[in-house]
Amino acid sequence: MFKLHFFSAFFFILLMAPGVRAQQFGGNPSSVNWYQVNTPSARVIFPKGFDSQANRIANVIRLMGSRTASSIGGKQRKWNVVLQYYTTLSNAYVRMAPVMSELYMTPAQDNFSTGSIRWDDNLIIHEDRHIQQFSNFNRGFTKVFSFLLGQEGQMLANGMAVPDYFFEGDAVWQETLVSAQGRGRMPSFYNGFKSLWLQKKNYSWMKLRSGSYKDYTPDHYQLGYLLTAYGYEKYGESFWKNVTGDAVAFRGLFYPFNRAIERYSGKTYRAFRETAMSYFKDKSFAGVQPSEMEYITPVSKTVTDYKYPVYISDDSILVAKTSYKEISSFCLLTGGQEKKIRVRDVVVDDYYSYRNGKIVYVAYQSDPRWSNRDYSVIKLVDIATGQQQQLSSKSKYFSPDISPDGKEILAVEVRSDGSNRLCRLNAANGELIKALPNPVNYFFTQTKYVTAHTAVSAARNMEGNMVLLKVDLATGAVDNLTPFSFNVLGYPLVKGDTVYFSGMHKNADKVIAVNLKDEKIYLVADNNNGVYHPAVNSKGELLVSAFTADGYRLAKLKTSWKRVAALDFILGNSHYYTDSLFAMTGAGALYSLRDSSFAESKAGSIRNPVTKYRKSFRLFNFHSWRPVIDDPEFGYSFFSDNVLSSFSNTVSYTYNRSDRSHTLGFSGVYAGWFPVIGLSAEESFNRTVDTAVGRSVMYNSAKLNAGISIPLQFINGRTRKFLSFGADYNIEQYYYRGVGKNVFSNNSIKYLSSFLRFSNISQQARQHINPRWAQSVSLIYRDAFNFSNRHKFVVNSSFYFPGFSPNHSLVIDASWQKRDTLPDLFSKSFSYSRGYEALSTRAMYKLGVNYHFPIIYPDLGFANILFFQRIRANAFYDYTSARARLNGVLTDIKSRSTGGELYFDTKLWNALPVSFGVRFSHLLDTDLLNPLVKNRWEIIIPVGLVPR
């Protein structure tokens, strides 16, 4: 029978478009009271108490619609924006099916990642551009996809027509255009490409697009911005509107985006890319005379980062080390030797501080049930013993430092109400000693003690300017050590009466210093790519983490100490913006929100009404539909998800052409309560079955499934633990019609299914095929209590261990099954020996051994369709013992096999990760269902890529 869920295989391409980042289903409890600001442009949904931010976000969306939408087509649809305040994660996304966005409202501590402008502004001007893109990308042939598949159809077509780098590059362009900063003005955003240019690493276009397990490559945000900004600069504001308009209309069926660039630029796609790269390369190194740099960590075969160096002594350095084959750990470097102190717990921000033999950092911890609630807790590590102590729980602390006497810890606290403050904590037990007042609502980031009574902190104000502050730890009073500016700064180091820090200065992030006595500012050294985390020893030697194409390397930087006047400090902004940026429509538009004339306009910063958001609003929100072809059955399924992602449901209709029957179905899951509740029902009409006497009997049938489950996660320490358990009740009832009523009884089949799943997974480095340590156990019990007492109990488990090399993996599989002695009523879930046709007998167990290892990282592809990143192998041995009656005799059946699997880790269309492979199994025993087979070849494809 031929079976195809129409376009299912291609839905994986949706990952190529922005907004396909996972929304957390059931991430918030139903106890959260939601409110809304509802405007013609957007509905902003938020918890009680955040009216002001929601109002500003609604106004910025309206502003962007009037000032920037024209450059991508002029349309802007209304969309839903949900603000999440109870997570420590700093992120945002747009989802296209259904159309909505979530903003995670805790600002990032790393100033050099996204800049210093207001976090809510930063998020919304970026994500709003995605909505503008989607609003204008439903035209031409894309409309056919939308008609057939709904919002998923547009997402599919857009993912096929427009590369992912454009979506993100164009959104970064909007950040840079409408604000006084944006990543397009930040030198740190160019570190990746500059490192490749400096080291003359000329990677292929497919490698830059697809990434690599072997070498560092910049991400699609950086790549996309270079091409997008160049297009706007050289060909005007309508260039990308025309290019994307033709692409989504599929004008030129194959590679429509590339063809459109050639059409409107007059250059080949390759020439356009190369010219864009050259434009920014020339900007990067014009007039630069870099200081001498002596690297003290070698180039490894694997990309390796050494970050946040601290001099323990003049010849002993503490660092945070991570690489493509090693997870993050604290290491001590002495005389060219490395000593690992401790593997770090799961973290969101990798910053740490050190003093007097102790490391302090913050680790990530999840809420057991609600995925949009998590915490940032303080950990203290003794470098002599490697022992670790947790000092806080259910906290949101960041960027801690230890006082000179070791008795206190100073940390930044980001509260759930959005406020930010510095907190003095007891270093012995984590108890709060004093929370310092912050009346002007600075956003404090990396903070360092100067004395027991003062500290310095890299802070942002509400306008997005940064400043280095000196803070009185008794009163909270602050003193500006640098002028306010849009120059990003951070990672302060106090050495004597001087504070060193990393800061933007023209073409790169450099080491800058300020004297605490006279507050004079100095450029300590010059460099042509980013250097961070300054450290100074007793000899006055300056050590930094230098960004290179081989990772962050430790380097001693020759100092030059040039005085920087206050005005030069303020104006020493990056020159990476394109030449005509300020003349384009929408330039600096974000700041017109404060203009009185603009405030009176329709799109101004007006005060929007706040109303309660009913959780039942659009509980049924059908956004997409998919045809199903499962010959002889044909039909359509309609998909619905509410905006709060607590209720998901599907309605389906199927027609069977063989017996001309009809089936209606519904399934729904509600995840707003602590247990997740599921319900599904299906009704079939006019079904027929052939009888032994040659007559067909008609019947109707009804199926009902009701279930409850509890999904839990425990991300704490160095592992991630997941536990879920639940049960569901199933009934299938038959109603015979016509002559069948006199022959058959209207019987029903009822069964209960219960499950428990547990996994404990260690952290993985980029090149790790599997976790080095992990355990996974699944138990399923099913009981058809009204049908001859049918029952079945299956246990599947896997245990992961390190192999002989860091990227090798040993996996032990164990399975067990016990069921009734009648023919099997239930589906097969036992993991049988590979190569055999699976049996399902009254008692079975299986042991399997797997050894996974990489073979080569080819980094080769063809036609921008398929790119091979890694080829790896697995050697296996399986042993299954099954007990069954054969010819009336209870017999033990052995099914042993050995063989190998060859896997190809690839990128499809330079964006979609797909792993597939081939398996050879040699059967050491007779396959009872295929006795002539001794060797078997199989193709291994990802679950879900090809429908079943």
Helices (H), 216-329: 220-235, 239-248, 256-265, 269-285
Please check the confidence at residue 643 and state whether its pLDDT lies above 50.
Answer: yes
By mean pLDDT, which of 176-190, 503-517, 567-581 is the weakest?
Answer: 567-581
- State the Cα–Cα distance between residues 47 and 778, nearest whole angstrom: 37
Tokens 């899951």 sit on residue: 669
Q: What is the pLDDT of residue 822?
A: 86
Contacts of 252 (CB under 8 A, 6+ apart): 246, 259, 260
Residue 523 domain-assigned (yes or no): yes
> Which amino acid is present at 10?
F
CA dist 3 and 6 (Å) reads 9
Q: Are residues 418 and 547 in the same domain?
A: yes
Please, which residues have CB within 8 angstroms of residue 710's CB and are 6 or more apart in sequence?
369, 674, 675, 676, 724, 725, 726
User: Do residues 116 and 145 share a domain?
Assistant: no
From 582, 613, 644, give the residue that closes a domain. Answer: 613
- Residue identified by tokens 């599907």 is 650
| Helix/strand/coil (H/E/C) assignment for every residue in 109-140 | CCHHHHCCCCHHHHHHHHHHHHHHHHHHCCCC
Please report the pLDDT score of residue 8 as a whole number.
43
- Residue 277 structure tokens: 């790269």
Q: Report whether pLDDT(920) > 80.
A: yes
CA dihedral 667, 672, 675, 678 (to 10 degrees): 0
Neighbours of 827 (CB within 10 A): 9
Task: Show the tokens assigned to 574.
Answer: 């990056």
pLDDT for 691 beyond 70: no
What average pLDDT does the segment 539-552 reach? Answer: 97
Whether residue 673 contacts residue 30, with contact meaning beta carbons closer than 8 Å, is answered with yes
Task: Please check whether residue 459 is in contact with residue 443, taking contact to mean a CB–CB distance below 8 angstroms.
Answer: yes
Residue 693 banded pLDDT, cuts 50, 70, 90 = low
| Mean pLDDT (whole number) for 662-688 | 96
* Residue 150 is assigned to a structural domain of this protein: yes
**Predicted local distance difference test score (pLDDT) of residue 23:** 61
Q: Which domain holds residue 70?
A: 34-136+592-613
Q: Mark residue 136 as left, alpha or beta (left: phi above 0; alpha: psi -120 to 50; beta: remaining).
A: alpha
More confident site: 679 or 605? 679
Same domain, 331 and 234: no
Helices and strands (DSSP H and E) totals, the chain: 14, 49
pLDDT of residue 688: 83
The Cα–Cα gap between 494 and 455 comes to 9
Report DSSP state, residue 909.
T
Q: Over 917-929, what HEC string results?
A: EEEEEEECCCCCC
Residue 227 belongs to some domain of the structure: yes
Q: How confident is the model at residue 393 (pLDDT cuts 50, 70, 90)?
A: very high
Q: What is the pLDDT of residue 840?
A: 94
Phi, psi of 860 (to 5 degrees): -135, 150
Q: Does residue 143 sit in the same domain as residue 224? A: yes
From 19-33, 155-169, 510-524, 753-767, the region with the lowest mean pLDDT: 19-33
In this predicted structure, which of 10-19, 38-47, 63-72, 511-520 has the lowest mean pLDDT? 10-19
pLDDT in tens, 577-626: 677 787 888 888 988 776 444 444 444 557 899 999 998 888 899 999 99
Instruction: Kindly report, residue by residue over 276-324, the tens digit of the pLDDT.
Output: 999 999 888 877 777 789 999 999 999 999 999 999 999 899 999 999 9
Separation of alpha carbons 632 and 658, rounded Å: 6
Judge whether residue 814 has pLDDT over 50.
yes
Tokens of 794: 């299956």
Range 549-561 burial, b when 16+ CB lie within 10 A, else e:
bbbbbbbbbebee
Predicted local distance difference test score (pLDDT) of residue 241: 98
Is residue 659 situated within a structural domain? no
Q: Are residues 441 and 531 in the same domain?
A: yes
Burial code (b: 16+ CB inside 10 Å, e: under 16) for 146-181 equals bebbbbbbbbbbbbbbbbbbbbbbbbbbbbbbbbbb
For residues 424-443, average pLDDT = 97
- The answer to which of 10-14, 259-263, 471-475, 797-801 has the lowest mean pLDDT is 10-14
Judge if 305 and 269 occupy the same domain: no
pLDDT in tens, 758-807: 999 999 999 999 999 999 999 999 999 877 778 999 999 999 999 999 99
- Look-up of token digits 């490409």: 193
110 and 222 housed in the same domain: no
Tokens of 131: 């909505």
Say if residue 690's pLDDT is above 90: no
Q: Residue 24: count other Cβ atoms within 10 Å of its Cβ.
A: 15
Q: Are residues 125 and 142 in the same domain?
A: no
Residue 289 has a pLDDT of 73
Please tell me the predicted confidence (pLDDT) of residue 575.
65
Q: Which residue has the tokens 């323990």?
A: 312
Q: Residue 646 above 60 pLDDT?
A: yes
pLDDT over 90 (residue 937): yes
> β-strand 99-104 against 542-548: which pairing, if any?
unpaired
Q: Is residue 23 part of a domain?
A: no
- pLDDT-derived band at 13 (thresholds 50, 70, 90) equals very low
On whether both 161 and 99 belong to a single domain, the answer is: no
Q: Phi and psi (nearest 5°) for 468?
A: -95, 120
pLDDT for residue 886 is more than 70: yes
CA 785 – CA 729 distance, rounded (Å): 11
Say if CB 749 and CB 784 are below 8 A apart: yes
Average pLDDT for 59-79: 94
What's residue 740's pLDDT?
67
Query: Which residue did the predictor score with more confidence, 164 or 688?
Result: 164
In a domain, 708, yes or no: no
- Looking at the structure, do residues 364 and 403 belong to the same domain, yes or no? yes
- Whether residue 21 is predicted with pLDDT greater than 60 in this model: the reply is no
Number of structural domains the chain divides into: 4
Does residue 298 lie in a domain region? yes
Are residue 447 and residue 513 in the same domain, yes or no? yes
Residues 398 and 523 in one domain: yes
Please spell the DSSP secondary structure of 835-886, one letter per residue: TSPPP--SEEEEEEEEEEEEEE---EEETTTEEEEEEEEEEEEEEEEEEEEE
Percent of the chain exceeding pLDDT 70 equals 94
Cβ-contact 628, 6 below 8 angstroms: yes
Average confidence score pLDDT of the chain: 92
Instruction: Please calculate the CA angle 472-473-476 and round it to the nearest 5 degrees.
Output: 60
- Check residue 597 and give its pLDDT: 44
In this predicted structure, the answer to whether residue 848 has a pLDDT above a threshold of 60 is: yes
pLDDT at 687 (0 to 100): 86
Task: Measure the CA–CA gap between 69 and 236, rounded to whole angstroms.
Answer: 15
Structure tokens at 32: 């959260």
* Cα–Cα separations (whole angstroms), residue 437 to 320, 426, 449, 478: 32, 18, 17, 10
Q: How far is CA 377 from CA 397, 398, 423, 430, in A?
A: 6, 8, 13, 10
As a whole number of angstroms, the distance between CA 879 and CA 521 comes to 71
When mean pLDDT is compared across 170-179, 574-583, 716-725, 801-810, the lowest value belongs to 574-583
Task: Tell me, yes or no, whether 638 lies in a domain.
Answer: no
Structural tokens at position 813 = 């599989």
56: left (phi over 0), alpha (psi -120 to 50) or beta: alpha
